[in-house]
Amino acid sequence: MIDFDNVGLRYGMGPEVLRDVTFDIPERSFQFLTGPSGAGKTSLLRLMFMSLQPTRGFVRVFGKDITTIPQQELPKLRRRIGIVFQDFRLLDHLTTFENVALPLRVRGREESAYRTDVKELLKWVGLGDRMNVLPPILSGGEKQRAAIARALIDQPEILLADEPTGNVDAPLAQRLLRLFMELNKLGTAVIIATHDLSLMDQVDARRMILSGGRLEIYE
């Protein structure tokens, strides 16, 4: 689904953040992306989300070279990818329910058609009684769960999650991990960027480790 071929990345005149990175994300796969802070995990996820272009090499998403995709096709492709941003990016003027429903709303769906789905998902992530609350009032962990729910709501083909358990306690992290695995069983390829070793130890999954700009993969 996603193909990296000798990808190099440097911001401006800075040092190379990524060097000769080559890998692919198969359909229905499950993997962790890890590495020290500043190693380039978020940058790698941005490349996969087509919001960043490589300095060298090729990135192919759904079989298309991301440097040649016409701008007006990007929204259609991004609808097939769910993303959890490290900084959540919830809209402060919308309630939790409205934030989570936003991807469906921009696809032109009717509220009556998805209301129950959104409520179910919010209950699953433990936000059943926070639906009418605006994000500034939510705790860090609650915001994180809302961001995750927003990424999952349309059952994407690929899920990119940047530190999705960074703000929650261990039991909740475990619960969220189970949610990701559930989603993976339904056919979504999942990539979770995390520092959390204990989280990775819970699943026997592929690990992609970034350090010094290089990527090593442990199957």
Partner 1 sequence: MNETPAKAPRPKKGNRRKIVLRPMAPIVPAGNIAGRSLMFVISIMSFLACLTLGAVIMVQDTANSWQSQISREITIQIRPEEGLDLAAELDKARDIALGFPGTTGATIMDDDATARLLEPWLGEGLDINELPVPRLVIITIDEASPPDFASMRSALDQAVANVYLDDHRTWVDRLVAMANTTVIIGLCVLALVFTATILTVVFATRGALSGNQHIVEVLHFVGAEASFVASHFQRHFFLIALKGAVAGGLAAAFTFAVASFWASNSLATPESDQASALFGGFSMGAGGYVGALAIVVITAVLTAMTTRVTVIHTIMEIDLIRSDPARSI
Ligand X SMILES: Nc1ncnc2c1ncn2[C@@H]1O[C@H](COP(=O)(O)OP(=O)(O)OP(=O)(O)O)[C@@H](O)[C@H]1O
Q: DSSP string of 6-75? A: EEEEE-TTS-EEEEEEEEEE-TT-EEEEE-STTSSHHHHHHHHTTSS--SEEEEEETTEETTSS-GGGHH
Residue 37 binding partner per list Mg ion, ligand X, partner 1, none, with a CB distance cut-off of 5 to 8 Å that depends on partner kind: ligand X
Cβ at position 157, least distance to partner 1 in Å: 13
As given in the structure block, the two tokens for residue 120 are 């179910």
As given in the structure block, the two tokens for residue 209 are 């480790």
Residue 178 binding partner per list ligand X, partner 1, Mg ion, none, with a CB distance cut-off of 5 to 8 Å that depends on partner kind: none
Selected from 19, 41, 130, 143, the binder of partner 1 by CB under 8 A is 130
Selected from 58, 60, 131, 206, the binder of partner 1 by CB under 8 A is 131
Residue 185 binding partner per list ligand X, Mg ion, partner 1, none, with a CB distance cut-off of 5 to 8 Å that depends on partner kind: none
What are the angstrom distances between the C-alpha of 33 and each of 9, 74, 188, 211? 17, 24, 16, 11
Selected from 3, 57, 58, 74, the binder of partner 1 by CB under 8 A is 74
Structural contact between residues 86 and 162, judged by C-beta atoms closer than 8 angstroms: yes
Residues that bind partner 1 (CB under 8 A): 9-12, 14, 49-55, 71-72, 74-76, 78-79, 83, 89-91, 93-95, 97-98, 101-103, 105-108, 111, 115, 119, 128-133, 150, 154
